[in-house]
């Protein structure tokens, strides 16, 4: 079976208030589509067939009462590493790093910049450089005082297949309720530190790190998850993950957790908050047919 990820383009919105900059990124939604290519001898995919199945498959990743499908799903082109990043001049597959900045000032040495604000008043600016001359770009997204995330951050960084580092220190996530697919298909990423994230209001983390299959270390030590209800496929195919720090996560409200740790390597080291979290995570490892060293912080 081959697994293909097809991504429906939605919208980039950036809302600005007088005191806070909101980079609203209801960007892309995605679901897994499986095909049996055993007799085909090719890796060509039936794109239209995938689009036809997107909605029904997406419901498997969402708990009852939640909408995980955009109204534009299946109506726009399939997205991939060749798709523009934030509707800008560079494609997702040409980016090697992303940094959120607390200033919108653009250095004079950059290769290019573009306005990513909804009102097109240059309140939020993205720019890119190639400082190491390797043909891949370092991207900065900046606003004065930083960038505050909206409630829906689905697919913000999905498909950045060559990104090896994120610096999200100035990204305020305190209002986010949906982080599904936020880092999906970041397949070159080996370490990720999200210890500055505020996840106290997040309800959906479906497929958040799906296909980040080079991740070795993942620091989610700041994740406070009393609002979390769904974590289906959250770490799916993190096959090289060795260290996972979720020391503040709780799972009392989580009702959907299908294949949460499916594909995570056996022997993974996981730091958890308490005995209840330990029991929950060990059960998810068993569900996935794996084992791990789960310890209480």
269 bridge partner residues? 243, 293
Q: What is the pLDDT along the chain (297 residues), one digit of tens a residue?
A: 444 443 333 333 333 332 233 333 322 233 333 323 333 333 333 433 433 343 344 434 444 443 333 322 222 333 467 888 888 999 999 999 999 999 999 999 999 999 877 577 887 899 999 999 999 999 999 999 998 787 888 888 999 999 999 999 999 999 999 999 999 999 999 999 998 999 999 999 999 999 999 999 999 999 999 999 999 999 999 999 999 999 999 999 999 999 999 999 899 999 999 999 999 999 999 999 999 999 999
How many Å is the Cα radius of gyration of the chain? 19
At CB < 8 A and 24+ separation, what contacts does 47-53 make?
Answer: 47/6, 47/78, 50/4, 50/6, 50/78, 51/6, 51/8, 51/78
Predicted pLDDT of residue 23: 38
> What pLDDT is recorded for position 156?
84
**What would the two tokens of residue 37 be?**
């290519």
Taking the C-alpha atoms of residue 191 and residue 178, their distance in angstroms, rounded to an integer, is 22
Per-residue pLDDT, 140:
97
pLDDT value for 30: 31
Q: Which of 171, 162, 110 is nearest to 143 (CA)?
A: 171
Matching residue, tokens 């498997």: 60
pLDDT of residue 202: 98
Give the β-pairing of 21-22 and 125-129: unpaired
């Amino acid at each position: 079976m081959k697994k293909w990820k097809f991504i429906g383009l939605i919208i980039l919105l950036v809302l600005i208030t007088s005191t806070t900059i909101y980079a609203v990124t209801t960007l892309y939604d995605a679901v897994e589509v499986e095909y049996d290519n055993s007799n085909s001898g090719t890796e060509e995919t039936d794109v239209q067939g995938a689009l036809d199945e997107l909605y029904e498959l997406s419901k498997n990743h969402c708990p009852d009462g939640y909408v995980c499908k955009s109204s534009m799903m299946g109506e726009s082109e399939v997205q991939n590493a060749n798709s523009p990043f934030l509707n800008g001049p560079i494609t997702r597959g040409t980016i090697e790093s992303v940094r959120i900045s607390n200033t919108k000032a653009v250095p004079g040495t950059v290769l290019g910049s573009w306005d990513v604000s909804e009102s097109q008043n240059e309140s939020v600016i993205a720019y890119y450089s190639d400082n190491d001359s390797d043909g891949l770009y370092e991207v900065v997204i900046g606003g004065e005082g930083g960038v505050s995330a909206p409630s829906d951050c689905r697919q913000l960084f999905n498909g950045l297949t060559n990104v090896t580092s994120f610096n999200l220190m100035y990204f305020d996530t305190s209002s986010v309720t949906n982080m599904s697919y936020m880092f999906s298909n970041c397949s070159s990423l080996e370490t990720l530190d999200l210890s500055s994230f505020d996840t106290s209001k997040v309800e959906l983390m479906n497929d958040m790190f799906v296909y980040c299959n080079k991740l070795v270390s993942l620091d989610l030590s700041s994740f406070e998850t009393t609002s979390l209800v769904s974590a289906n496929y959250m770490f799916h195919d993190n096959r090289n993950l060795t260290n996972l720090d979720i020391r503040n996560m709780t799972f009392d409200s989580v009702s959907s957790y299908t294949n949460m740790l499916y594909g995570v390597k056996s022997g993974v080291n996981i730091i958890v908050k308490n005995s209840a979290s330990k029991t929950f995570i060990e059960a998810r490892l068993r569900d996935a047919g794996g084992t791990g060293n789960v310890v209480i912080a």
